[in-house]
Amino acid sequence: MYKHARNWVEDLLGTKEFNRRFMVMPGAQDLRHFKKGVTGVKVWTGRESRDMMRQFLPIIVDAKAPPDFVRLVRNLLDFSYIAHSARLSDVELTKMDEMLQAFHKAKSVLLDRRDKRLGIMKGDEGFDRIAKLHMLGHYTQDIRQFGTPDGYSTETPEHLHIMYVKIPWRMSNRRNPLPQMVGYTRRLEALEIQRAQIEECYGKDIEFDIRDVVFEDEAIDSQSEDDEAVDNGDELEDLVQITLAEQNKSEYVFYPQPRTSIARRPTAPDVPARVIVSSYGASNFIRALHRFLWSKTTQPDKVPLLLPTDRFPLWHKAVLEHARLPFAPTEPCHRDVVRVQPPVWDAAGRQLKAGIFDMALFATNLSSSGVSRFRAGRVRAIFSLPLDLAHLFPEPLAYVDLFTPLLPDTTSTHKLYAMMLDRNARDPLGLVLPLSSLRLACHLTPDFSLRSARVQLRGSSTTFGMDHRFLLNEHYNHYTFLVIDHWRRIVP
């Protein structure tokens, strides 16, 4: 269905505008950036389709897009993300049926002959020719009868290739690998036979799946070309555990509490504050750090005056490791990476590499529930205090550009939360907070429905106006989708 949805949106927006929106889409960890758009991709595999759909909904949020068209794509994406789960309840299956019904109710917008852009299908019989659309109608019934489609979808051949070729090759020493691969596969089959015998005798299911094993080169293979280009070489082998701050827990609502870690040695051990302001874009760094230190001491007069020449150790990467979701325990653990990398310039003042400043959610209003408890921030610097000030706060800190509180979609079409940069007269408001306060990495996209917003592509970076509105991309990854969907279901 992704191929058909892509063609529908291309017909609506036009090829040039469709590609431009993918080109100006801000980057995020493990999110592919289509530098030349998507229509030029010659071979569409499952990975390319998924990478496109992870940023697809914000693309179609447009003033000229009919509301039913946006609802159609939203329901199709939600149906796909819920069906991706390893375990589904009757409530979730019923919700999938409702999404499919909403999709069929809104699909008539593709038959609107009054708008040449929407005369995509010639009649209702055109939908009958889409085999995958017909298959969606049998999904929930088949799941109730045979179980979730995890492992026997249309990617079954690719799954077998991973199980019996890729993983055995990674387990070899790369020298004359074929005999080693055959031996590994035989041992794997022997273990499966032994497990089946044990289960038959003892009636216990041994929870082990080879797919849960993470290999180093597998993680490397999953990185996009952009990530390889800007890799700063930080090693996270020796992780420094950061003590998590205590947070009030709701009895019914789950909130992420990841284990935060950074490299033992800083990427840049001695960076002046003026460089943090100029190169990293932390415009209010000194003032925000003063406010933070004053809030952490009972004697504000003991806080020394910070100067632009003061030096701080900086890290370019932090890892947020999430445990399994309590409401979806069969889903794998999730790992967020927050990157902070300043742009690189040559001697002539030309930009060689664009800066990378990832987004994250952190709690600001513990009295609220669900997504309204959080605000988004663009992480500009990950640092710690120098040795002479470490007694004031010994844990790592983060400087973020603050966004306004998240606003829900009042039109009930795309259902994405909107926000803008919180700013004073000229610069965005900055905030210093403990690094452990970051709860979830997120992906913010421009709101293309505002015609007044100017989004430009300059070289390899995307620039936005200070008054631009952003949308929280819920389909950034499956973990983010499950958490926000949980908040929507639990919090009224």
For each successive 10 residues of the chain (492 residues), what is the average pLDDT?
78 87 90 87 81 91 83 91 86 91 84 58 62 80 80 60 87 91 92 87 59 47 45 42 40 87 94 94 92 85 87 96 91 93 89 91 90 94 93 94 91 89 78 95 90 49 65 94 91 70
Among 9, 8, 7, 36, which residue's Cα sits nearest to residue 20? 36
In one letter, which amino acid is 362? F
What pLDDT score does 67 carry? 87
3-state secondary structure at position 471: strand
What pLDDT score does 419 carry? 92
What pLDDT score does 479 carry? 95
| Buried residues in 430-458 as b, exposed as e (16+ CB within 10 A) | bbbbbbbbbbbbbbbbbbbbbeeeebeee
Cα angle at 251 between 336 and 406, to 5 degrees? 50
What pLDDT score does 122 carry? 59
What pLDDT score does 116 carry? 52
For residues 274 and 279, what is the distance between their CA atoms, to the nearest angstrom?
8
For residues 153 and 92, what is the distance between their CA atoms, to the nearest angstrom?
19
Q: What is the DSSP string of 437-454?
A: GEEEEE-EEE-TT-TT--
Task: Compute the Cα dihedral for 87, 92, 97, 103 and give only its sign.
Answer: negative
Phi and psi angles of residue 432, each rounded to the nearest 5 degrees, phi first: -100, 130
What pLDDT score does 117 carry? 53
Among 290, 311, 288, which residue's Cα sits nearest to residue 386? 311
Instruction: State the pTM of this model.
Output: 0.76
What pLDDT score does 226 carry? 47
For residues 426 and 429, what is the distance between their CA atoms, to the nearest angstrom?
9
What pLDDT score does 273 carry? 95
For residues 260 and 25, what is the distance between their CA atoms, to the nearest angstrom?
27
What pLDDT score does 160 carry? 77
